[in-house]
Amino acid sequence: MNSETPKHAFPTRILFAEAEAIVRGVAAANRLPVERIAVSRSAGRVLAEDVVAAIRVPSFDNSAMDGFALRSADAVAGASLRLVGEQFAGRPGGFTVGEGECVRITTGAPMPDGADAVVMKENVRLAGDRIELSAAVARGTHVRMAGEDGGPGDLLLRAGTRLTAVQASLAAAVGMAELPVARRPTVAVFTTGDELRPPGQPIEPGEIYDSNRSLLMNLLVAEGLEPVAWPILPDEPDRMRALLRDAGEAFDVVITCGGVSAGEKDYLTGLIAELGAIHFWKVLMRPGMPLVFGRVGQAHLLALPGNPVSVLATFLTLGRQLLRGLQGDAAGLGPVRAQLSMPVAKTHDRREFQRGKLAFGDDATLSVAPHPATASHRLRGAADSDCLIVLPEGALDWPEGRLVDVLRY
């Protein structure tokens, strides 16, 4: 621990579940304001209020086919019906189909009064102003009933739903042009470390390329956000202090990586305590233990450890919970369950996140193969994988076939 790091003014070495509870609590107490946006741009956004239908869907009985609207009582095999008009989609109704009559109709057009079924045009023989039925047509055939999909007062979408394109279109189908959604958090990303260089430039001995910036920026974009990246921060407390203070005034969330462990140059924890507040430091998870969650200025601050797989594990769990929680997303992370395709062993009692690759077996069972690389600096093993396997506290040995939660990325 750096000499400037405060010792126990905040919870430390807490259980993963406690860390989750704190993150969720802070997010719930700091919901982002609501804004109204166009329904056509709302997929991926979190709905802030229930959507209740004000009209019936469909709003009138209409034809599901191009054909002829008729009275089913007349429609026995071989019947000949007199064509008395045409009813196209988009035109108001108003026709009446009398006994022995029919009306030409297109898909989506209102059903004429008196008609209770539609026969497809392919199934009739047209001769002059008459049609001949090859088979009987039952009542209700090819008719879409008004209100089939819902009516006034029906709860269509719940507040807290992260909207899919289909859900957004349902809101449009009941006439809504805009939806109330949570504002998206603004996010700043800092990477820290004297050894880091931006990709695209030569490196000197002892230096490495900054890969976490790409990792975080892309993960944030995949969350539907528009993050802003700061230049790489050197391990200099004065520079870090100035930039953190600025970012704390300008963003909803600041995510840093590196500089929170026990090294001589790990100044961040002390700076966060000085400039704001720490909710917790160090979570009993592996990788990712030295994580700090706190506040600087107006911003929620997540200071992630520097190793790439630590960044992945902490972002996919606590990072996403914070970002989604601030938007009121009620679904949480919704882990997927898969069967271990080979045994895995944990080295610690802590909650562990191991890299794995998902596959559907011949019996359609989802299985996950753990990757042999477990050290948190080995990005390649994470790139060759597509999920993190969640191994909770306790048992060290996890047998083949055991069901585990996985976090896909």
Residue 258 binds Mg ion, judged by CB under 5 A? yes
Which residues of the shown chain bind ligand AMP in the complex (CB under 6 A)?
A: 191, 193, 195-196, 208, 210-213, 257-259, 261, 263, 305-308, 377
The option from ligand AMP, Mg ion, none interacting with 305 (CB < 5 to 8 A, set by class) reads ligand AMP
Q: Report the alpha-carbon distance of residue 376 to residue 382 in Å, rounded.
A: 9
Q: Which is nearer to ligand AMP, 111 or 188 (CB)?
A: 188
Residue nearest to ligand AMP (CB): 306
Angle at 398 between CA 392 and CA 404, to 5 degrees: 55
Q: Which is nearer to ligand AMP, 39 or 189 (CB)?
A: 189
The option from ligand AMP, Mg ion, none interacting with 133 (CB < 5 to 8 A, set by class) reads none
Q: 324, 343, 345, 342: which is closest to 333 by C-alpha?
A: 324
**Shortest Cβ distance from residue 192 to Mg ion (Å)?**
6
Q: Which is nearer to Mg ion, 174 or 260 (CB)?
A: 260
Chain length of the chain: 409
Asked if residue 399 has a cis previous peptide bond (ω within 30° of 0), the answer is: no
**Shortest Cβ distance from residue 384 to Mg ion (Å)?**
25
**Shortest Cβ distance from residue 208 to ligand AMP (Å)?**
6
The option from ligand AMP, Mg ion, none interacting with 257 (CB < 5 to 8 A, set by class) reads ligand AMP
Q: Which is nearer to Mg ion, 193 or 290 (CB)?
A: 193
| Residue 88 main-chain phi, psi, to 5 deg | -100, 155
Per the CB < 8 A criterion, the answer to whether 272 and 263 are in contact is no
**Shortest Cβ distance from residue 194 to ligand AMP (Å)?**
9
The option from Mg ion, ligand AMP, none interacting with 196 (CB < 5 to 8 A, set by class) reads ligand AMP
Give me the DSSP letters along 207-257.
-EE--HHHHHHHHHHHTT---EEPPPBPS-HHHHHHHHHHHHHH-SEEEEE
- Among 110, 112, 185, 193, interactor with Mg ion by CB under 5 A: 193
> What Å distances lie between residue 199 and 214, 219, 360, CA to CA?
10, 18, 36
Q: Which is nearer to Mg ion, 65 or 232 (CB)?
A: 232
The option from Mg ion, ligand AMP, none interacting with 74 (CB < 5 to 8 A, set by class) reads none
**Shortest Cβ distance from residue 301 to Mg ion (Å)?**
17
**Shortest Cβ distance from residue 305 to ligand AMP (Å)?**
5
Q: Look up residue 97 and give its amino acid.
A: V
Which residues share a beta bridge with 283?
Answer: 14
One character per residue 135-174, x = contact with Mg ion (rule: CB under 5 A): ----------------------------------------
Q: Report the alpha-carbon distance of residue 291 to residue 312 in Å, rounded.
A: 12
**Shortest Cβ distance from residue 187 to ligand AMP (Å)?**
16
User: Which residue's entry shows tokens 């008459």?
Assistant: 130
Which residues share a beta bridge with 77?
Answer: none
**Shortest Cβ distance from residue 220 to ligand AMP (Å)?**
14
E-state strands within 287-409: 292-296, 299-304, 336-340, 344-345, 351-360, 366-370, 387-391, 397-398, 403-408
Per the CB < 8 A criterion, the answer to whether 61 and 117 are in contact is no
**Shortest Cβ distance from residue 378 to ligand AMP (Å)?**
11
Q: Which is nearer to Mg ion, 191 or 321 (CB)?
A: 191
Residue 305 binds Mg ion, judged by CB under 5 A? no
Q: Report the alpha-carbon distance of residue 171 to residue 318 in Å, rounded.
A: 31
| Residue 144 main-chain phi, psi, to 5 deg | -95, 125
Q: Which is nearer to ligand AMP, 264 or 397 (CB)?
A: 264
Per the CB < 8 A criterion, the answer to whether 84 and 220 are in contact is no
Q: Which is nearer to ligand AMP, 42 or 261 (CB)?
A: 261
Residues in touch with Mg ion (CB under 5 A): 193, 258-259, 306
